[in-house]
Amino acid sequence: MTSNPDEPSFKDSALYVLMFVAITWGFQLVPSAWFEGFTAQTMSQLFCALGLSSGHGVESGKAYLTLLGGVRDVYVTIVRECTGIHVWGLLLALVLPVRGGSWIRKAVSLVYGAILIFVLNVSRIFVTVYLTAYDVPPFTWFFANPTVETYHYHVSFVYGVIGVAILILTISRWFLPELGDTLISLPTGFKALFDRNKS
């Protein structure tokens, strides 16, 4: 039985996974304080542009965002996870190890992905903070006197799942088809190892 030369070997799949883990882990070491402040500033400017009362700043080394004048005032500390920087690390780890595909297309994919992640993250924070500050049906039918945590985990989960799916699908379709091919064929390389052990 001969293997398809287009199918990834165990070595190919293992190398991709190892590089993915290394890049993801390495990205955790990237400082994020500057981006936390930038995220708070961006959100505050967006709220103010919409005619809402918002402020931002840094207190005890931590960036914060406020939204005032609603049903309840909201004060949010912007931490590393709020910036979406970990998703940027995930994007790098998915794209850089891909076999095939020019570095130009990989670079374009990363730029597009970074912009998409930023837009999605800004809208995620906006939805979470706005729903906390203002009573918006039908959410108020289920949550009385909500806090940021009331919406944070639900909204973040939905954005996380849908956002990553959109990210991978659009990059694979528009810029780097090799990404989708790599992810789809990844289990094949590990299957080859098990098949070899059986024979």
Interval 24-66: pLDDT, tens: 998 888 888 999 999 999 999 999 999 999 999 999 999 999 9
The boundaries of the domain holding residue 25 are 10-183
Q: What is the mean pLDDT of the chain?
A: 89
Interval 135-160: pLDDT, tens: 888 777 777 778 888 888 889 999 99
- Is residue 194 in a domain? no
pTM, 2 dp: 0.85
- Is residue 190 in a domain? no
Phi and psi at residue 77, to the nearest 5°: -90, 125
* Pair 27, 80: CB distance under 8 Å: no
Higher pLDDT, residue 5 or 163: 163
Q: Output the six-digit token pair for 25.
A: 């882990």
Residues 84 and 117: their CA atoms lie apart, in Å, by 7
- Is residue 96 in a domain? yes
- Is residue 1 in a domain? no
Cα angle: 9, vertex 91, 150; to 5 degrees: 125
Strand partners, 67: 54, 74
- Is residue 74 in a domain? yes
Total number of domains constituting the chain? 1
Q: Helix, strand, or coil here: 103?
A: helix
- Is residue 16 in a domain? yes
Share of the chain above pLDDT 90, in %: 64
The pLDDT value given to residue 180: 92
* Residues with Cβ within 8 Å of residue 187, at least 6 apart in sequence: 13
- Is residue 3 in a domain? no
Residues 63 and 41: their CA atoms lie apart, in Å, by 9
Interval 131-141: pLDDT, tens: 999 988 877 77
**Strand 62-68 to strand 53-59: parallel, antiparallel, or no bridges (unpaired)?**
antiparallel
Interval 68-95: pLDDT, tens: 999 999 999 999 988 989 999 999 999 9
Nearest to 112 by CA among 162, 169, 156: 169
* Residue 198: pLDDT band with limits 50, 70, 90: low
- Is residue 2 in a domain? no
* Burial group, residue 99, by CB count within 10 angstroms (0-12, 13-18, 19+): exposed
As a residue count, the chain comes to: 199
